[in-house]
Amino acid sequence: MSFEKGDFKYLNRFVKDLFKSSGRKVAISFFLQLLTGFTQSIGLIMLIPLLGFVQIIEPTSQNAKFMDLFLNFFQKIGIPVNLFTILLFYVLIVSLNSLMGNYQSVNNARIQQHMIKSLKDHLYKLIGYSEWLFISQLRLSEITQVLTQEIQRAGQLAFRLLQLTGVIVSMAAYLSVAFMLSIQMAGLAVAGGILLWLLFRRKNKYAYQLGKSSQYSMKRIYQVVLEHLTGMKVAKSFADEDRYIEEFVYHTNAFEKQKIQMVKLNANTAFVYSLGTVVMLSAFVFISVHWVGLHAASLLVMIYIFSRLLPQVSSIQVNYQQILQLLPAFQSVQNLEQQCTENRETMNRDHFTLVKLSERIVFENVSFSYGKKNVLDQVSLIIPARKVTVITGKSGAGKSTLADLVTGLLKPVAGSIYIDDHHLDDHLMYSWRKSIGYVTQESFLFHDTIRNNLHLTNAQATESQIWEALEAASAGEMVQNFAKKLDTVVGDRGLKLSGGERQRLALARAMMRKPTLLILDEATNALDPYNEGKIIEALKKLKGKTTIIMITHKPELLKMADQVIDVDGTEAIN
């Protein structure tokens, strides 16, 4: 893939996003760049009258117009022309230029950071509002990498673009004065700059490829780290740490080499431009003295201009290569944004009213498949309200799929689902999910206090409501026995607690919203008899008060069922 074959669309999109997120600040940055270029031009033009006034040079036809322009300006504003006022004016111009440059640097940093924040917020919102089926198929490492590493690099792209435009404006200021002094010599300098640019055209493609390669290496590093840390216990139990470590080291080595190649490319570019600058400046002095015949003042100013101008050409090339290296990061962000947009849930989140299931949940000829794998085919069944329905069947038969269809996490490819007499569509979906509780086999708890974990489903709950939910989940006595009670920190993913303690807190969290439907997906499979008994005790309290769906094979839970749905044959047994 080469940058010239269509990837400019990403750069165009980035510029549009940049103006969208920080349009006013970007406009200020451009305005300051123009002012900075203008003051640079004035400062350069002032060198000729200054040299003439202190009699370092003699007035000539070439520099007389600059001296006359300067003297006329001072006379019009009523300032006496002497060495002190000239030097004071020069200091003011240079100081103004420096102040604007300082403010511009801070403003550009604000633009960069705001762009990073804007990209992160927008992408995270898209991820959060994407369909569950799409999210479940993504690698966690890919999402993490894009949200952190890639967006950070995309922010650097904003900085490089602003820096590039600033250098171009500055170079234009130097050229404007150079053309006023000598069209021939200024044209020679432009031709030399273009020649150096053409010499590095192929290197620009290489810069883009390095950006893609380093992006892939970092992607693999994130993948190895997250998979290893997530499965650390399994890896250590098999004494398989070496495999992850070796893979991690392999990709970090590759990333190191790519970064060094980037530095070498930029260093080589700077070296060639530096050497080219010396050669061109020497040739310029020779040609200007022997062929063009520039006078002393003009020659001195032109030498100063070119000594500042040619490094600007080098800076343009280096910044351009940096932009090419960083562009793949923005491409990754855009690709994930596009995927999330295509898989966005369309349900209305603005207004909702809690749903009270009063009669039944109805599946009417519902079919579902994961790609080409057909899981449910024209299933029709009824789940009665305020009853206990147990879903059973062999692994892979579609038990969890059936539960996810009830919650709306998955949508049927054919058929319909009804909550009482209301079709479970995008209009009802948000209200329905706000009204149910879901407890999975591996219940996730945040590395926070018990109180804050329970507040996840009901942020406005009072202390008494929290204890009520804990009692309903047969977890009240357990929490009372903790030294810090509700302020007990459960650890990362709740690992400071036993599996049974986590499950009971997960059940309490689900009960915090007093759900009209409670779903337990293999929630007691890994529990010891004591904790399983506590869960069963809690469920017995809820029987007849709320609708309960349990996915299980446990005989103790099957005894509680008012209805058993065997997914193997997709039939209901009352």
* All domains of the chain in start order, with CATH: 8-342 (1.20.1560.10), 360-573 (3.40.50.300)
The residues, ordered by sequence, that sit 6+ positions from 299 with a Cβ below 8 Å of its Cβ are: 285, 288, 289
**pLDDT grade, residue 155 (50/70/90)?**
confident
Collapsing DSSP to helix, strand or coil, 42 comes out as: helix
- The pLDDT of residue 303: 67
More confident position, 205 or 368: 368
> Residue 549 to residues 85, 159, 297, 376, 522: CA-CA distances in angstroms?
89, 54, 92, 18, 11
Query: How confident is the model over 382-403, as pLDDT tens digits?
Result: 999 999 998 888 877 788 888 8
- Report the distance separating Cα 164 and Cα 101, nearest Å: 14
- Report the distance separating Cα 16 and Cα 26, nearest Å: 11
Mean pLDDT of 492-510: 81
- The pLDDT of residue 370: 84
Of residues 407, 339, 413, 412, the one with CA closest to residue 130: 339
**pLDDT grade, residue 136 (50/70/90)?**
confident
For residue 273, is pLDDT > 60? yes
- The pLDDT of residue 201: 66
For residue 418, is pLDDT > 90? yes
DSSP for 248-313, please give it. HHHHHHHHHHHHHHHHHHHHHHHHHHHHHHHHHHHHHHHHIIIII---HHHHHHHHHHHHHHHHHH
For residue 43, is pLDDT > 70? no
Token digits of residue 548: 């309960």
More confident position, 519 or 504: 519
Mean pLDDT of 223-247: 72
Mean pLDDT of 222-242: 70
Query: How confident is the model over 160-191, as pLDDT tens digits?
Result: 888 888 778 777 777 776 676 667 667 766 77
Q: What is the pTM of this model?
A: 0.73
For residue 4, is pLDDT > 70? no
Lowest pLDDT segment from 5-9, 148-152, 221-225, 358-362:
5-9
Lowest pLDDT segment from 82-86, 92-96, 153-157, 318-322:
82-86
The single-letter DSSP state of residue 458 is -
Average pLDDT, the chain: 78
Buried b (16+ CB within 10 A) or exposed e, 408-430: bbbbbeebebbbeeeebeeebbb
- The pLDDT of residue 2: 43
Bridge partners of residue 550, in order along the sequence: 390, 520
- The pLDDT of residue 517: 92
- Report the distance separating Cα 328 and Cα 323, nearest Å: 9
DSSP for 349-387, please give it. -S--------SEEEEEEEEEEETTEEEEEEEEEEEETTS
More confident position, 525 or 543: 543
Mean pLDDT of 453-468: 86
- Report the distance separating Cα 573 and Cα 563, nearest Å: 6
| Percentage of residues in the chain having pLDDT higher than 70 | 78
Bridge partners of residue 548, in order along the sequence: 388, 518
- Report the distance separating Cα 227 and Cα 505, nearest Å: 26
- Report the distance separating Cα 405 and Cα 426, nearest Å: 13
Query: How confident is the model over 306-352, as pLDDT tens digits?
Result: 666 666 777 777 788 788 888 888 888 888 999 999 888 887 777 77
